[in-house]
Structures are given as C-alpha cells and as structure tokens.
Chains A and B, each alone.
Chain A
Amino acid sequence: MSTVTTADQHDAHHDHKPTGIKRWLFTTNHKDIGSLYLMFALAMFFLGGAMAMVIRLELFQPGLQFVDPQFFNQMTTMHGLIMVFGAVMPAFTGLANWMIPMMIGAPDMALPRMNNWSFWILPFAFLILIISMFLPGGGPDFGWTFYAPLSTTYSNDSTALFVFSVHIMGISSIMGAINVIVTIVNMRAPGMTWMKLPLFVWTWLITAFLLIMVMPVLAGVVTMVLTDKYFATSFFDAAGGGDPVLFQHIFWFFGHPEVYIMILPAFGIVSAIVPTFARKKLFGYASMVYATASIAILSFLVWAHHMFTTGMPVFATLFFMYTTMLIAVPTGVKVFNWVATMWRGAMTFEVPMMFALAFIVLFTIGGLSGVMLAITPADFQYHDTYFVVAHFHYVLVSGAVFSIVAAVYYWLPKWTGHMYDEKLGQLHFWCSLISVNLLFFPMHFVGLAGMPRRIPDYALQFADFNAFVSVGGFLFGLSQLIFLWVVIKCARGGEKAPAKPWEGAEGLEWEVPSPAPYHTFDTPPEIK
C-alpha cells in the first residue's frame, strides 16, 4: 500500500531525553506515553483480575464462605469499572499512542502536552476509586452500571469519590480522543489519503468520535447521581417528579457506544494481523471502513436493548429490537471479510495470528449470542442472567482483550527490538484459549437454566457448573502470568528483531528500525 522514500536512520542521534522518573513524568513522547498507558492497563488488568478471582472463589460452591454479600457486590462493581475504564480502554489508547503516529508517518501526536496530561490524571482517578473501598461502609457496591436509586438514596458515601473518579477518567478519555482525531486529520504524511489509512487508524478515528460524543453523557449522568444524592435534586426520584428509568436511558446512551469503543479498535488490530500472516491483502478494505462507520452510527440507536424489562411501550421496544438486530449486518460483513482474507492465502500461525484467529471465532460466538439477546421476548428470559455475563465476556475478554494481547505480540518486536519467546507465547495462547472457554462457555448454560447475575450465593442446581467455571477462571488468571513473563523477558532481551519481523507485514511502522527510535518520521515520508 505504501512505501517510504526517506530513511530515518539519523533519528536515533537526537535521543536527548531526561533519565529516571522525570523521563516518564514529563514525557511528551508518544512512544513513552504509549508504554505508560500499556503498563498501566496491564497493572489494572491484574488488579481487576484479582477481584474476579475473589468473585469466582466465593461462587466456587453454594453458601457464603469467603466474603460477605456487600463485599461481593463491591468486587463485581470494581471488577467491571477497573476492567472497562482501567484495562481495556487505556490499553487501546496506549496502542493508539504508539502506533498511530508511526502508521501515518507523523513525528508524534498532535498535542503532546495534553497527551502527557491525559495519561497522568488516570492513575489518580483509579487511586481515588480504590481508596474509596477502604472508607467506612466500603466502596461502590451498586454494579458498574450504578443504577439509581441504588446509587443515590441507597448508596454509601464512597459514591462521591466514585463520581469524582469517573469524571477524571472521562476527562482523560476525551483528551485522548481529541488527540487521536487531531493527529489523524492533520498529521498524515503527504500522499496518505483517507482510503490508504491502515484500518487500525480508521477504527480508532471512529472510536475517538464516539468517545467525544458519549463521555460527556457519562459525566452528566454521574453528576446527576451526585446532585440527587447530596444536593436534593430529583432527576431519578419519583417522589420529586423524577424517574429512575431516566437514569438507565442516559447511562445506556453512553453505555452502548462505550461497548463499541471497546471493540472497534480490536477490529482494526485483527484487520492488520490477519492479512500479515495470510500474506494476502485485506479483503474488502472499503467495506471494512463503511462497516465500522455503520456500527458507530447504529450504536446510538440501540441503547434501550439493555432495558427491555423496564416496561417501555411496545413500540419503543420493537424499534430497539429491530435496530439492534441490524448491527449484526455490518458486524457480519467484518467477519466474512476476515475469512475471505484468509481464503487462499498462505498462512503461518505465530502467536499474534493465533490470538487473532481465536478472536474471530470467539467474538463471533459472542456476536451470535448478542443476536439472541436482541430478540426481546427471549431477552426477558436471558436478561440479567449468566447468559448475559457469558455474552459480554465473550466479546470483551476473548474479543477485546485477546485483540490487545494479539497486538502486543504483533508489535512487541517493534517496541523492544527483540523477538518474544515464541514457545512461551504459544503456551500462553493455548492456556488462555482453553481456560477462557472453560470459564465463560458454561455460563451460557447456568444463565439459561435460570441463574441471575450479581448474586453471591445460588441455588443448588447451579453448583456443578459454577465449580467448573471457577476452575476455568483460576486457570485463566494463572495463564496471564505467562503473558507477563513473556513481555518482561522480551523487554529485557532476546533475539534481535529486524525492522520488519513479519514476512507479510505492510505499513509505515515496519519501515523504521526495531526498536523504533525515540523520534520517528521527523521528516514525513512520502507515500506513493
């Protein structure tokens, strides 16, 4: 698609950067900030994962054994918040920081100081959130969806900290999104026309627009929660003329596009990896772009499918059922395009490809259960059960997280200058693949059989599956330690990586040496 005419070898010479902690605190370099985001996301992934382990430990068998119900609710709430806002979103932002400038031939992000700021407020947001758990009465325990009035009248005082923390996360996301948009719009190398952009850049551009549109809505809804709780407003209190269901409409108007914020960049990653290892151009590039845009637009018209049981009028219910079903069409196009890309290619199966292939299969399973959930009458039975838990973990863990892991393996040689340990990587892949299915597949069954979500204890007919699921959970958690080891090992040394370690790879990021010099593309490359 593109070739570079100017070499960048001389760039390595002006690597003058402060050393030690100052380098990281004051950095405006997109690669440093990308690394910070990724390391932060990894730390949060393990923290959120540890909370999931507490949940699975308590659910290993019926009865209350290890934690009390209130703490259990804090665990489910914090697990959700940390994984969504602390692990998945920062990981994608980290990848965007590292890769977008290198993919479009820009020297850095457009707004480097804001870039620094948008990362460095994030640790404080999570510090506040985590500290709130140690207040008297404990941290947020109303679920990551914080439905009113459970989160207003009936919540404890950590809610104020929760609201503050979400505000900071939102500001961070919005700044990150602005940066991505400005960079992509203004800083593409000469000749890098819109329809030559790598798909990862395209999907991130659309994601950034989604972020800018919905994060203020989240900020609005948490502020309304705050004023309802402390300043005697009644947005969500019927006694004062408000409506608790209004909360859900506002929350999900943010929440559903948020779901796509967490999956669109994943589509971009898979669309980069599959052609590389199939040694064949991506099938239907243009339709991929249009499908991504359609999903983004549709994401604003489907929010109430999270609310079918709230008692909406039939007409509204039908509208949201139909629009939700429509999302299957552009999503299907993407999956078909990936399969067509593989078709008659010459595939090899390095770790990034393995994770990308697992992504396609498991994300499709999650997508199909999503179609089932769209069917309102059936959703009355699925809603708020483990069937839903299975569905969104298939799309978020074996979807979004697998894509992030694939991306890390794919670009790790570029970042560190070393090849990762292929054997350990394959071990990590197979352990993850098997355990993630042990963990989430049986959840479909317990959900259909009638087990509600967010309960610390359950009836005896769910016992066998829950024990099974917990074992899967522990194995999945342990498997991720292999990942940590592979990454650390690769950062510390290993076989030297060439500029382009993957035979079939295309794109500007492979034109610069590995590890990528501190400054790349000071002189823009020319794309023919």
Chain B
Amino acid sequence: MAKTRSWRWSLPALLLAGQAHATGSQFNMTPGVTDISQRVYDLHMTIFWICCAIGLVVFTAMFVSIILHRKSRGVEPATFHESTKVEIIWTAIPVLILIVMAIPATKVLIAMEDTSDSDVTVLITGSQWRWHYEYLDYNIDYFSILATPRGQIEGRLPKGDNYLLEVDRPLVIPTGKKIRFLMTSDDVIHSWWVPAFAIKKDTNPGFINEAWTMVNEPGIYRGQCAELCGMDHGFMPIVVIAKEPEDFAIWVEQEEARIAAIREEEQRLLALRMDIDEQMALGERVYLAHCAACHQPSGEGLPPMFPALKANRVTTEDRAEHIKVMVDGRPGTSMASFARQLSLRELTSVITYTRNAWGNDTGDVVQAVEVYEYMQGKGE
C-alpha cells in the first residue's frame, strides 16, 4: 500500500524537478553571489581544467598503447624498463603544476579567513535539527526550522518547488555589508553551508567558529546542514534572504516589534485561561512541527533513543516534571530546551496536548501562568 502511494507521486516530483533547475546549474558548482564565491568558483574551474588536461595526456598515451602495442598486431615487446631522465621529468612536472595551483588557492583561503571590520554579526547556533540566529547588534533572535510539511516528505501531498529547502523564518542580511557569522552548537556538530556564499563551517559544541560574507545581489539563497548530525540531518535547511540595506532596516524594525509583541502577549496570557479545545488544536500543530520527528505523530516515539509519550509516566502523572523537561530539556540527550524556541502560548498548549492525546486522557489543562512561574522560579 505504502509503495503504490509513493510511486504515484514520483511523476509530479520528476516534473517539478525540471522547474527547480532555474536557480543553479544541475551539473556544476554555483559561482555564487559574492566576490569570494566567484573566486572559489574560478579556482574550482581552473583546477578542473588542469585535471582534465592531465587526464587527457595520461589516457591518450594509455589508449594509443592499447591500440598499437597489442600482441594481436604481431608486435614484439620492447625490453626497456627504466629511464632516470624520464622519471625525473615526470616527477618534476607535477610538482610545478601543483605550485601553480597552490598559489591562487592560498590567496583565496587567506581572503576567506579575514573576518575583521564587519558591519553586522550573527551568532548561528545549530541544534538537533534547527538553526538559531541571534543578531548581536539588534534585539533579535529566533529559530529557523524546516517548513516542508510531513505530508510532502511522506508522499501524501505533492512536493513543492523548494521541497526540503524551505524554513519558517529565514536569516535576513543586508546586501553590500560585511556580515560576520559566529557559529556554535548546542548538541552535536552541525555544518552551516550556503553554496551561494561559499561558506561551509562546522558548528562545534563549546567552541565558536567564524566566517564572513558580503552579498552583492538581493535574493533568496538556500543551503543545508552538511555534517551528519543524527536522524533528521537531511531535514535542517538554511534559507538566507539578502535585502537592500534600507529594506533590511525596515525588517529589523518589524522584527524587533514582533518580538516585543510576543513578550507583551505573554504577559497578557498570564491572566488568561485557555480552554482545552483551543489548546488541543494549537498543541497538535506545535507537536507535529516540533516534536513528531522524534516522538512520532502517534506519540509512540522510537525507543530507547526517543521515548514514547503515550502512557509515559511524565506525560500522564508528573505534571511538574513534564513542564520542567519542556522548559529545560534533558541534558545529555536529544531532548532540547523549548523555552526559547516556542512562545509561552505554544509551550503551554503542547504540554496540554501531550497530556490528553493518544489516550493519555489526563484531563489536565495546563495554563500559561503555571509554565511561566516555573520559568521565573528558576531565574531567581
């Protein structure tokens, strides 16, 4: 049954693939949209053609020999088996070719590593399996997660143009400014890769790496995590939107306002009582977006790495522990803290949802104030 369903979607998938090509070559590295990426591309093409030339010489000699020097043509084998002169020549020539390659490579590398005099700094934090962006110059930070619906991945819905390369909140940067990226991780090693900028840098837990870019053209640039980081390594894309500086300034203003509004709403929420239906509806949406990858839509998890939430002691009995795990995460496991990632409203709803879904039926309706008090209590 599952097989027939997946086959049915293969045709539209292949057709859509044709449209997606417009953004970059299907055969070659992208020249990208920065001076550095252009230089990397040029370097790549130079060494590519040198390698082709070497291959051509070697393979020509080999195939000429295969065609001419075969026993079936009645040739007598020669007896030479060494020549110091020839051997010195074909040791020296590759050395020269390598030096020719090494000089531009060194120059580009040194330029890539110079992160001084930046205009904007963004701290990128990888975690399983989402990116967190924090603008050190502004009051802005947010998570960026895969926006492709599960239905498209499982073949129940037709796949969109940007299948697996779309996120809920992209990173936004200004064009023509030097952006410095600081990179770290909350759990395992990830690698932040945007081909159009020629940046691929590992995010190491407990350490900070640096990279920089200056984008010339406004546009949307997509990338992916490039270091195996566990189960959903293939599902943590990167989307960067480069805007003109004026548009970027507007975005910063709106984003700061949005984040302030969320904080305000949180305060209002504390006085409010949400009913169970509202919480269940929102909770289910949050659960499917943030929790279902590990704990599964059925709540049965993938034990022992990802425990079942269905009929789990924490989700059915220990309410305080449940809130604690959601807010703090479980150190040393893949269970991250969701305190910053979800709004108070989302956090509350998803707790209520898991306490009532899949036959957990505790009847508990958790309220925002309860979660908030735990978070505050921790702060003191």
Contact = CB atoms under 8 A, between A and B. Distances in A.
Q: Are A and B part of the same complex? A: yes
A380 B40 contact: yes
B74 to A, nearest CB: 8
A445 B43 contact: no
Contact of A459 (B59, B113, B165, B210): B165
A114 interface: no
Contacts of A150: 188-189, 228-230
A365 B77 CA distance: 28
A364 interface: yes
A149 B188 contact: yes
A40 B224 CA distance: 39
A339 B43 CA distance: 29
Interface in A161-195: none
Nearest to B16: A460
B26 A61 contact: no
A64 B64 CA distance: 48
B289 to A, nearest CB: 17
A311 B13 contact: no
Interface in B209-263: 209-210, 223-235
A457 B235 contact: yes
Contacts of B209: 310-311
B224 A452 contact: yes
Nearest to A348: B71
Contacts of A284: 81-83, 87
A450 B47 contact: no
Is chain B's interface secondary structure helix, strand, loop, or mixed overall?
Answer: mixed
A368 B44 contact: no
A153 B102 CA distance: 40
B8 to A, nearest CB: 11
Given A309-B200, A375-B105, A377-B43, A461 B26 contact: yes
Interface in A355-405: 357, 360-361, 364-365, 368-369, 371-372, 375-378, 380-381, 383-385
Contacts of B189: 147, 149-150, 244
Interface stretch (B90-98, B118-126, B351-359): B90-98
Q: How large is the interface on B (under 10, 10 to 19, 20 to 34, 35 or more residues)?
A: 35 or more
A371 B106 CA distance: 15
A347 B43 contact: no
B155 A65 contact: yes
Contacts of A459: 20, 162-165
Which of A156, A157, A459 neighbours the largest number of chain B CB atoms within 10 Å of its CB? A459
Interface string A294-321: 0000000000000001110010011001
Contacts of B162: 459
A322 B69 contact: no
B147 interface: no
Given A150-B230, A458-B234, A463-B13, A281 B79 contact: yes
A9 to B, nearest CB: 31
A366 to B, nearest CB: 11
A318 B109 contact: yes
B76 interface: yes
15 contacts: A64-B155, A65-B155, A285-B81, A311-B210, A333-B90, A336-B90, A342-B62, A348-B72, A361-B62, A371-B101, A380-B200, A449-B25, A449-B29, A455-B224, A464-B26
Given A376-B105, A381-B40, A459-B163, 12 more contacts: A62-B17, A69-B233, A284-B81, A310-B209, A340-B86, A345-B77, A347-B71, A368-B55, A380-B200, A459-B165, A461-B21, A461-B26
